[in-house]
Structure 1
Amino acid sequence: MKDEDECGGEPLFQDRDFPSEDSSLLCDGSTPIAGMQGHVTWRRPQEICQSPVLFPDNSNLAHAKQGLLGDCWFLCACSFLLKNKHLLNKVFPLDQPEWGDRRYRGAFKFRFWQLGHWTDVSIDDRLPCINSTLCFSRCHSPTAFWVALLEKAYAKLHGSYERLWAGQVSEALVDLTGGLAEHWSVGEFGSGEEQRPEMDSDQVRKRQLDLSLLDPVKDSCAISCSSHASTGAAELGQHHALTVMEWLDVKTLSGRKVLLLRIRNPWGRCCSGGAWIGSSGAGWSSVDPVSALDLQSRLAEGEFWLDEKEFLSQFDDVTVGYPISDEGHLKSIYTGNPLTHNHHLSGRWIKGHSAGGSRNSSSYGSNPKFWLKVCERGEVLVSLLQYRKWRNTKNYAQIPLTDSENTKHQHYQAIALHMWKVEKKRFNLSRKLNKTPCASTHCHAYEREVVLHGQLDPGYYLLVPSIYQPGAEAHFLIRVFSSCSISLSAIKSPAPSLPWRIDGEWETSSFQGSWVEGRTAGGSRNFQSHWQNPYFPFTVFDDTAVMSVNVRVTLHQSRPDSDLLPIGFHIYKSKEGEPESTLGGYEDPVASCVPHCYTQDVSLACCLPPGAYTIVPSTYQPDSPGHFTLSLARRIHRKVVKSQERLGRAIQEISHISVMQS
């Protein structure tokens, strides 16, 4: 396939892993953008305007304006990048050739923080349009495209644009910064709040907003506000997120102080009718005219001022993203101090082994456990981050790994983190766990990440992450940030006593392989050397009795957590009558476990029709050597054999011999 526009005689890059098709727009068609199917054209920026640029000269025009996609949560996080050039350069690496540059080839690279590592995501610059207008997010300047390109890369990371519909600002902030974010409640706890069973025996407390606490870091942290239902602000619908650009104390003519907050709406229009609206609001008459003009001149398109009382009445939650210094250190939102030490470890809750449930469960002590050693008194933050329960797949292999009993919170489990101070490393575990923890997240929450904060004395601390429901499985990451020297280690548990249990009868095969530099380390599909990767043929047999998932593939890399490669794999339909050596001629994969992830294992469950297939495992970059194990499980259907077998008595076997009659 060849792009119509060429540069220097070379075709422009076309991303085969995220093609310019409806499959990149939609996941399951459950959102309003499903109606766009078949009506979208994909255009490069030079086909949309005459002189495209990445960033406009006017910084106010660089901010994002929301389109037809419900991703205000992501756009609020993008605003934080414009305030922090070092973070923007991390996510959008410098010196990438753009339009008009002789080096331009229609490709851009971004980086997102994923599960402890920065992951590269490369895209082409073909953007979804209706006629010649961008469908989704754009800059306020019609000739600037950094927002639209970043949104496309983030959509590729998630598997489709549709998967960006509705989300948490905190998740996007962490993905764009590698830092932390916390939720704060504006309203009183209990007002219409659903009481759920995952609120365990610990005292339930919901963090209340305290703007004075954040005052020391207000100019460097990210702050977003959101509404859960229609409020007094005109046009503020349900579940909409906005950005707090700044707040300051303004002295009135009577001598008192009023706190004003400048709010940016991703829709690009004002949505408040309060006392400080435009230049005619009643509030402006209470301050000095010169100050009033100065404040009004700061407003860009889509911005408005609210005083503290209006702010607290119109919003339900505030998300606070931790500041990050130019040196890359997280800064505490509680003290403003840099947290110069950090560690992270991955783990897993496994049914029958380490999925012990909440403290209400007798099996709580079987949960994963970690040692945190604090060498001197200091400020410590500990976070528990769980992995999403679905993986990116394609076409009929789109099988979300969701909990059928939990449709409201289909992507995440209800998680919590508890911590105990111990005097020595040898202690009675059951007695310790029966005591009150020195710190905890107080209740299990359906959040991707929960955070503990405290000033800790020197010594050893026991960390126990848990899911509320015993037996619920998930992968997770423990992260620790501190102002003092620390160490983090996992407490080794015995090997699982129960095998991996799946429904039905399965046939499992395992293969050992290696990516060898210069030979079989071909990299992802974005590289021509992809077809040099090892490949593993297999067959799915015709079985009309099996209509659900019939293939499970798991790729495991043999490397320590501190030195993982980004790995993934594709499944291709083999061409009948052709040897496997013709892999390079294969069409697009029928199923994929992408994007490539920095993790020990990646897996995919899918439904494949009968036929011959080939699995191609790969690292993201070519020439990345490593060893791996590929496990393939295929569902098999056996007819029930009726017998008169009795316990303790052997079955008499009878052979039936068929004789050909001449």
Structure 2
Amino acid sequence: MSLGPCSICGVWKLGQRDSSQASPPLPQQDFEALLAGCLQDRCLFEDSSFPATLSSVGSGSLLRKLPPGLQWKRPPELHSNPQFYSAQAKRLDLCQGMLRDCWFLAALQALTRHQDILSRVVPLNQSFTENYAGIFRFWFWHFGSWVPVVIDDRLPVNEAGQLVFVSSAYKNLFWGALLEKAYAKLCGSYEDLHCGQVSEALVDFTGGVTMTINLAEAPGNLCDLLAQATYSRTLICCQTRSGKVKVLENGLVDGHAYTLTGLRKVTCKYGPEYLVKLRNPWGKVEWKGDWSDSSSTWELLSPKEKILLLRKDNDGEFWMTLQDFKAHFRHLVICKLTPGLLSQEVGKKWTYTVREGRWEKGRTAGGRMKAWGGTFWKNPQFLLSVWRPEEGRRSLSPCSVLVSLLQKPRHRHRTWKPHLAIGFYVFWISKDYDDRKTLPPAFFQRSAPLSKPAVFLKEKEVSQELWLQPGTYLIVPCLSEAHQEAEFVLRVFSRKHVFYEIGSNSSVVFVKEIEDQNEGQNEFFTKIFEKYPDINAVQLQNILNHMHWSSLGRAQPFFSLEACQAILAMLDLNASGTVSIQEFRDLWKQLMRYQEVFHKQDKDGSGYLNWAQLRATMREAGIVLSDDVCQLMLIRYGGPSLRMDFVSFVHLMLRAENMEEVFQNLTQDGKGIYLEKPEWLMLILYS
């Protein structure tokens, strides 16, 4: 069957056109209807709202940088076996193209660390085989709601058939390139992705709330903040100092965004050291200082720690000390995905309210608060009543409240009109007020704000976590200058509150109670972190034996001290006899996965696997063994009856995956490795 261009793809519905825009807004396209029409007509989708022409690339300097002979081709024309996405591929497999959209790519690579959120943005059931019609759909969080973006799969390539923009290290994978095209459509064009703040993309990918830390003024507990963030549901990125994108002598790129992918506490000969692991979106060009791939400082570690952490690949990923990180990077951006992780307080439900508003010249664009009065009182005013949900009783203990202010783009094209400087003020108010009327100038002349902007920022989002006594407050979002116009979205998160605009004719308030799906698990890790900053074998045994293994039914496992010592030996990188809470969280994720695959094969609930079940279970977990090796593993790790219980299965899986990682780190060609005798003995005897 041959497929040709589609005759129905120009059918799309426009939203309300803003007369101030030079181009139409994002079209509303029915993905299912378009797909069904293309399949019925046996044609490939062509998106007339974002065509395969230079107009979708841009209209400025980017056009002059394009390679000669630019073409638009579909993945099946570029590779004999194109795949949309592969779970077996390495997580960090995307490489930046000629666009300066490292901010987008750094955020995307942080997103890949959370499979559930990634699959929300990138529906992973799309392919180039089943129901293929050249049409793909992605989802972005767009100022209060998730919106679909539909594209065709025609991608810009040079004369050699190489992708001009984002590509994958695996030449047959195209999800990254197609996602970039969808994001370019959302932002106006490919050129509109040229330069940006990583916090913007993090919000668009998650709907989360970003917090930006100036590393020159980093808090003293930065290491603790990073430790909390790396084992919580957060995305972490960072940016070097502003400037021309050029490679410095130390290997870092000036004016560039990176993804923070790890934090480790290692034990050197001179004492402990905190290392951060970073990823360059280029997929190459790495740090050349201490703890770089070729640095001699690795000799300060134990052989095991060195083998498991050091990987000498020019893949753009590298380690550096926390001190060097603070010295060479300007901003750290943390995106919090769930309200339950906004603070140390652990609660079952959070209330999320979002309100939209507008600063209008002559009406509600009052500008910042000034000592002599001015027009600040004209700004939109929002009333917030907050309390703790303790059987409805008012409490005098402070409440955690997160406020986020986002400004909407003032043009269909993201970069055509820059962000304005925004901020918000918070005031306490008494009960004797008329909530039907905005507060007059006299209130602001006699009232000092509880919170105000230290500086107004030209960012897409500004946010702040506040600790407020139960009571009633006024939030006033504003621009730094009066008489400027823009639209905004104001979000409030807390355990319990009421939030609405004073004097608004609209009685609709969008409130959503969020059940944090990982709340119980987050509470579990928070309590462990508070009790055991470092976990030894006895503590590990106590934790594992007091947990309920839901998938194992009546066959609840018992972890002996010897088994916990063996597990600890495989995780304990610095031979300290303990693991950190970050390492334990990684272990816990593995245990949950092992529990599921074990339960799937243990159909009778006996708590044991025979030879055939073990082989099937390991294959499902991603490890393929020959029949003979599988039999040897059953003899080595199973009981006298040649059946394996869950604890022994955990030991086997951890050892297999650990040795697989060691092999990948040591091999140069993927076929073999060379070890010196001390390294070999250490791996065999201690791991």
- TM-score by shorter chain over 0.5: yes
Equivalent residue in structure 2 for 1:23, among 40, 45, 55: 55
- 2:411 — aligned with what? 390
Partner of 1:122: 150
Confirm or deny: 8 A CA contact 2:135 2:150 kept in the other structure. yes
Q: 2-side partners of 1:163 and 1:336: how far apart?
A: 40
Cα gap change, 1:411 to 1:143, in 2 (>3 Å): same
SS of equivalent residue, structure 2 residue 490: strand
**1:154-303, aligned counterparts within 5 Å?**
154-188=183-217, 210-219=222-231, 220-227=233-240, 228-229=242-243, 234-254=250-270, 256-278=271-293, 280-297=294-311, 301-303=315-317
Against the structure 1 CA distance between its residues 559 and 52, is the aligned structure 2 distance closer, same or farther, given a 3 Å change threshold? farther
2:499 equivalent to 1:491:
no
Q: The residue matched to 1:128 in structure 2 has which SS?
A: strand
2-structure distance, mates of 1:171, 1:319: 10
Match of residue 421, structure 1, among 413, 425, 428: 428
Q: Return closer, same or farther for 1:449/1:41 CA change in 2, 3 Å cut-off.
A: same
Q: Against the structure 1 CA distance between its residues 338 and 74, is the aligned structure 2 distance closer, same or farther, given a 3 Å change threshold?
A: farther
The answer for the alignment partner of 2:468 in structure 1 is: 456
What SS class does the counterpart of residue 19 from structure 1 fall into?
A: coil
Distance in 2, matches of 1:116 and 1:493, equals 19
For 1:481, the aligned partner's letter is F
Shift of 1:487: 1.4
Q: CA–CA distance in 2 between the matches of 1:213 and 1:348?
A: 35
Aligned to 2:490: 478
Query: Which residue identity does 1:54 align to in structure 2?
Result: F
Residue number in structure 1 paired with 2:561: none
Contact in 1 for aligned 2:385/2:498 (Cα 8 Å): yes
* Match of residue 449 from structure 2: 437
DSSP 3-state at the match of 2:297: helix
> How big is the shift at 1:250?
0.6
Aligned-partner Cα distance in 2 for 1:440–1:334: 24
Aligned to 2:365: 355
* Distance in 1 (alpha carbons) for counterparts of 2:485 and 2:365: 6
Give me the whole-angstrom Cα distance separating, in 2, the residues matched to 1:424 and 1:299: 64
Measured after TM superposition, the shift of residue 160 of structure 1 is 0.6
In structure 2, the partner of 1:521 is: none
Paired amino acid for 2:278: I
Kept in 2, the 8 Å contact 1:61–1:140? The answer is no
3-state SS of the aligned residue for 1:187? helix
Identity of paired residues, percent? 32
The structural deviation recorded for 1:232 is: 5.7
Amino acid at match of 1:178: G
1:28-56 Cα shifts (integer Å, max 9, x gaps): 3134x533286321111111111111223
- Contact conserved, 2:251 with 2:288, CA < 8 A, in 1? no
Contact 2:269/2:300 (<8 A) preserved: yes
Cα gap change, 1:10 to 1:479, in 2 (>3 Å): same
Pairing partner for 1:321 from 335, 352, 356: 335
Q: Do structure 1's residue 43 and structure 2's residue 54 form an aligned pair?
A: no
Could you say what secondary structure the match of 1:345 adopts? strand
Moved more, 336-345 or 78-87: 336-345
Task: Give deviations 1:165-215, integer Å, cap 9, x for gaps.
Answer: 001110100000011112111125xxxxxxxxxxxxxxxxx9788232232
1:423 counterpart letter in structure 2: S
Aligned ranges 1:303-314 → 2 under 5 Å = 303-314=317-328
Q: Does 1:52 align with 2:82?
A: yes
Change (3 A) 1:9 1:344: closer
2:45 maps to 1:13: yes
CA–CA distance in 1 between the matches of 2:368 and 2:66? 44
Q: By how many angstroms is 1:297 displaced?
A: 4.1
* Offset at residue 559 of structure 1 (A): 12
Q: Distance in 2 between matches of 1:118 and 1:300?
A: 37
Given that 2:285 and 2:314 are in contact with CA atoms closer than 8 Å, whether structure 1 keeps it comes out as no
CA distance in 2, matches of 1:305, 1:214: 15
Deviates more, 1:57-66 or 1:173-182: 57-66
Answer yes or no: is the 8 Å Cα contact 1:185–1:207 preserved in 2.
Answer: no
Residues 355 and 366, structure 1, Cα contact 8 Å, conserved in 2: yes
- Indicate conservation of the 8 Å contact 1:62/1:141, yes or no: no
Q: Which has more helix, going by share of residues?
A: 2
Following superposition, the deviation at residue 339 of structure 1 comes to: 6.8
Relative to structure 1, the CA distance from residue 339 to residue 244 in structure 2 (aligned partners, 3 Å threshold; closer, same or farther) is farther
Deviations 1:379-419 (A, max 9, x none): 110011111121249xxxxxx8x6xxxxxxx4111111000
Query: SS of the residue aligned with 1:365?
Result: helix
Q: State how far apart, in whole Å, the 2-side matches of 1:231 and 1:8 are.
A: 52
TM-superposition CA deviations, 1:298-318 (whole Å, max 9, x none): 978211110112212221111
- CA shift, 1:64, in A, is 1.8
Give the CA deviation at 1:492. 0.9
Instruction: Tell me how far apart the structure 2 counterparts of residues 425 and 53 of structure 1 sit (CA, whole Å).
Output: 64
1:366 and 2:378 are equivalent in the alignment = yes
User: How many residues of Structure 1 are paired with residues of Structure 2 in the alignment?
Assistant: 458
Please name the residue that 2:112 is paired with: 82
Query: What letter corresponds to residue 417 of structure 1 in structure 2?
Result: F
Which residue of structure 2 aligns with residue 331 of structure 1?
A: 341
- The answer to whether the 8 Å contact 2:110/2:260 transfers is no
Cα deviation for residue 217 of structure 1 reads 2.4
TM-score (norm 1): 0.65
Kept in 2: contact 1:216–1:336 (CA 8 A)? no
SS for the counterpart of 2:196 is: coil
Mapped partners of 1:339, 1:24: distance in 2 = 43
Tell me how far 1:457 sits from its aligned partner. Answer: 1.8
In the alignment, is the contact (CA less than 8 A) between 1:356 and 1:466 conserved in 2?
A: yes
Deviates more, 1:231-240 or 1:161-170: 231-240
TM superposition shift of 1:378 = 2.4
Task: State the alpha-carbon separation in 2 of the partners of residues 84 and 124 from structure 1.
Answer: 26
| Cα offset, 1:61, TM superposition | 5.5
Equivalent pair of 1:62/1:139 in contact (CA under 8 Å): no
Trace 1:496-515 onto structure 2 (pairs within 5 A).
Answer: none
- Measured in 1, the distance between the counterparts of 2:348 and 2:237 equals 22
Q: Does 1:99 align with 2:128?
A: yes
Query: Is the partner of 1:134 in helix, strand or coil?
Result: coil
> What is the deviation of 1:107?
0.7
Deviations 1:214-253 (A, max 9, x none): 3222233111111124686534333100111001111113
What secondary structure, in the 3-state scheme, does the structure 2 residue paired with 1:259 have?
A: strand
Q: Structure 2: which 5+ runs fail to align?
A: 8-37, 389-397, 512-687
Residue of structure 1 equivalent to 2:519: none
**d(CA) in 2 for partners of 1:123 and 1:334?**
41
